[in-house]
Structure 1
Amino acid sequence: MAPAEPDDAGRIHCRLDALLEQREMTLTRLSEIVGVSIVNLSVLKNNRARAIRFSTLTAICEALGCEPGDLLTLR
């Protein structure tokens, strides 16, 4: 398997904004539930994140009642 290219991260799209809207939840409320700062969630929501911890991904999915594939998509 070839190493990841630096531009590969740009192909991942985070659908956090759409999922929050569907659930009528604010970023502030999600931050309170998952214990991740609003700033870090905002970076993820705005597709500027370079990585995400599995524990954070799990907590977000549990809070939103979704699967990782609902949150992150490949472009």
Structure 2
Amino acid sequence: MPIIVNLDVMMARRKMSLSELAEQVDITLSNLSILKTGKAKAIRFSTLEKICEVLDCQPADILEYSK
């Protein structure tokens, strides 16, 4: 898949657990886990916005395009 999800990197930089992030973003732990492992097929902009808000980052810090 050419889109790489670096959510785990940003979470580590912010010293935040998956359960903490899930609670603050108001998303289920299982859905956030699917996103974190790169198995998600889509993400809502509102979810991405909230993740960026909580982690104080930009979408490009989480999503990366690779050829």
Q: Report the TM-score range of the alignment, normalised by the length of the smaller protein.
A: over 0.9
Structure with greater contact order relative to length (CA < 8 Å, sep ≥ 6): 2
Residue type of the partner of 1:11?
A: P
Gaps of 5+ in 1: 1-9
What TM-score do you get using the length of structure 2 for normalisation?
0.96
Output the CA distance in 1 between the equivalents of 2:11 and 2:61. Answer: 12
Gaps of 5+ in 2: none
- How many residue pairs were aligned? 66
**Which 4+ residue blocks in structure 1 deviate beyond 3 angstroms?**
none
What is the aligned-residue identity percentage?
45
What TM-score do you get using the length of structure 1 for normalisation?
0.86
1:47 to 38, 51, 67: 38
The secondary structure found in structure 1 opposite 2:4 is strand
Output the CA distance in 2 between the equivalents of 1:13 and 1:36. Answer: 20
